[in-house]
Every structure is written in C-alpha cells, then in structure tokens.
Amino acid sequence: MNIGFPAVLSEGDVVLRPYQRRDLRQWVEVRAYNEGWLRQWEATPPATWAELNSPAAFRLIRRAMKRAAKEGESMPFAICVRDGTRERFVGHINLGSIVRRAFSSAYCGYWIDSRTAGRGIMPTAVALVVDHAFGAGRLHRVEVNIRPENKPSRRVVEKLGFREEGYHPHYMFIDGAWRDHIGYALTWEDVAAEGGLLARWRRLRG
C-alpha cells in the first residue's frame, strides 16, 4: 500500500494526477518539443532522445511508475493545466525514493514544458506535492537536488523557501559527465506555522 497515493491535487487551473493511457500523445509531443530544454538536465540516456521519448517508451515508463507507486516507493504525478473541461499535459513531478519509519523522507524531481514555464505552474505543483507529502503522505522531509547551472529550477525552490543544505560534488551522471548538485530541503516544521507550503506560495504571489 502506498500511503497518500493515488491522489488528485489541484490549485486554480493546475491539476496533478496519476498518469493515464491517454497522456501518451501529449507526453510524446511535449518531450519531443523540449529536447533542448530538458536533455541538459536529465540523466545521460543510453539511447537517442527520440527512442527514449517514443510511444513505446511512454508505455514502459508508465508501467514502471505504476509499479513503483504500488510498492510505495514513489508518487508520480502528471502536471496538467485545466482549460475549461479539458486538461493539457505540461509536465511531471514525482516524490521518489520514499523512506518510511524514522526517516519519513522523499526526493522531489520535476520538469515542465518550456512553453508554460514562468507562469507559476511549477512552484504551484511543488507546493501541492510538498503539502500532500506532509499531510496524506505522512512524510516529514522533502529534498530536491539541482545542478548549480539550472537557474530556472533553483528559482522554483528558492522562491518557495526551501533551505539550501549542502553541495554534492559529482552527484549524478548527466549530459555526459558527473555533475555537481545543490541540495535543498523542507521539513514539516518549516511550513506548519504558515498552514503549509501552498499557503506560503499564495501569500508570496499576492
């Protein structure tokens, strides 16, 4: 059993939900369009971008996500933007490497379509996921590790008030080399008095 998953989370026109079969076409289109935007930040693939982001790849990835979620190891969400009665797929966010008991922690990873970046969608998604982790997910800590050069991703966690906790040299093999990362984190105590991270983000947005 995965505590807190599946779930659907929303704020305004931003919706986070489990992946569905019907996401295939939009996922392939978004990943293909954003190769230059995403490839430099993702683990170095053993195949071409087209192969790793094909319809067949989506089916394999979705099955792997469902398996990991069922085993309680992760909570993978599709990020969608609601347009009337329709939802448009624009990105991905995941709570992964979930550890229970005394640690009660998870890592958060995310990406977004460059065509929707800068509209507050990703900070909203991160705030929703963190609050869900601390609430229904019964976790105590969420960590995010980001390459120093990835300024858009760092802006997301910094504007939300994540605490910078460390520098990890040669942390992950990305874009052909072992890349350094900066470690950010939040615990439940960091946001409890404010009513959660989403409440903090709402105040920041005014």
Q: Tell me: the pLDDT tens digits for 5-45?
A: 999 999 999 999 999 999 999 999 999 999 999 999 998 77
Distance of CA 196 to the CA centre of its chain: 18
Q: Which H/E stretch holds residue 171?
A: strand 163-174
Q: Backbone dihedral region of 27: left (phi > 0), alpha (psi from -120 to 50 degrees) or beta?
A: alpha
- Does domain 9-205 sit in CATH 3.40.630.30? yes
**Contact of 106 with 98, CB cutoff 8 Å:** yes
pTM > 0.95: yes
Look-up of token digits 């910078």: 164
Q: Tell me: the pLDDT tens digits for 109-145?
A: 999 999 999 999 999 999 999 999 999 999 999 999 9
Give the N- to C-terminal CA distance of the chain in Å, as an integer: 38
Amino acid found at 98 = I
